[in-house]
Amino acid sequence: MSIHWTLIAGFLYAEIGVILLLLVPFISTRMWNKVFKSRFLKGLENQLIYYFYVLVAILILFFLDAIREMQKYSSEELQQKAAGGMSHLDSQMQMHMRLFRAQRNFYIAGFALFLCLVIKRLVSLISANAGLQAEKEAAMKQAESASRAAETFMKSGGGDDVTSDPNDVKDLKEALAKAEKEADVAKKDRDSMKAQSKSLTEEYDRLLAEKDKLERKIAISGEKKDD
């Protein structure tokens, strides 16, 4: 294996190790986010993006070169077979060995390119997940603070001796007023649905009565015809 393919294979093994490390369950996404947001990586962020795209371009070039070699040696093998077969076993082994190397390089470059994109996607997903968890914790803290303020307000009976923050009390009053309006709307909807249900029931009973009348008329007319 040549030097550049040895480097690409080593890079592939390093990528596998990085992916396994990112998938370790006992390392939380918050810890990874701290690592990604560290001063060292933040300072190198612009350069890392540049190097990433350069690396992807290099891998694409080697990947295309491996495809070219595969097609080249495959076509040469087909041409020799069409010409009457190979005269020597050594030349046949050399041709198969070159084709095998081209195929090996194809898989090495392809997997290295694929895992490079996978790692970038994993890093972005881990960072996004950590951000969502932080927002969730902040929302939970705000909800707990609002719940405590509501309990204090309800215990004090809404008087001026509330010890909570005035802004929290104002927000709480607005939330209570909004909840009362929503309750009034829900009550009106409920009454409307009750009225509709009652009218539907009455209409259903009326239709049943008319159905019974029609059945009786049909039965009476049938008896008259029999007579």
CA–CA dist 59, 24 (Å, integer): 27
Structural domain contains residue 164: no
pLDDT of residue 20: 87
Alpha-carbon distance 100 to 136, whole Å? 53
**pLDDT of res. 90:** 67
pLDDT, position 82: 58
Domain span holding position 94: 3-155
Residue 82: inside a domain: yes
Whether 133 and 225 map to the same domain: the answer is no
* 170 found inside a domain: no
Among candidate residues 155, 172, 200, the one where a domain is terminated: 155
User: How many structural domains compose the chain?
Assistant: 2
- Looking at the fold, whether 209 and 111 belong to one and the same domain comes out as no
Residue with tokens 């390392």: 27
Report yes or no on 101 lying in a domain: yes
Each as own residue / partner, the long-range contacts of residues 128-132 (CB below 8 Å, 24 or more positions apart, any chain) are 129/29, 130/29, 130/30, 130/32, 130/33, 131/33
What pLDDT was estimated at residue 159?
47
- Identify the domain boundary among 155, 174, 198: 155
Rounded to an integer, what distance in angstroms lies between the CA atom of residue 54 and that of residue 48? 10
Is the domain of 69 the same as that of 131? yes
The answer to whether residues 151 and 200 belong to one domain is no
Residues 111, 12 share a domain: yes
Same domain, 221 and 110: no
Each of the 227 residues of the chain gets a pLDDT tens digit; together they read: 678 888 988 988 998 898 888 888 887 777 877 777 777 666 666 677 788 888 889 989 999 988 888 888 777 766 666 555 545 666 777 778 888 888 888 999 999 999 888 888 888 888 888 778 777 777 777 777 777 777 776 776 554 444 445 666 677 677 767 767 766 776 776 676 666 666 666 765 676 667 667 767 766 765 555 55
In a domain? residue 208: yes
47 domain residue, yes or no: yes
Asked whether residue 195 falls in the same domain as residue 149, the answer is no
> Is residue 177 domain-resident?
no
161 inside domain: no
Indicate if 73 and 37 belong to the same structural domain.
yes
pLDDT at 61: 92
Judgement on whether residues 138 and 186 belong to the same structural domain of the protein: no
| Amino acid 161: pLDDT | 47
Note whether 151 and 188 are same-domain residues.
no
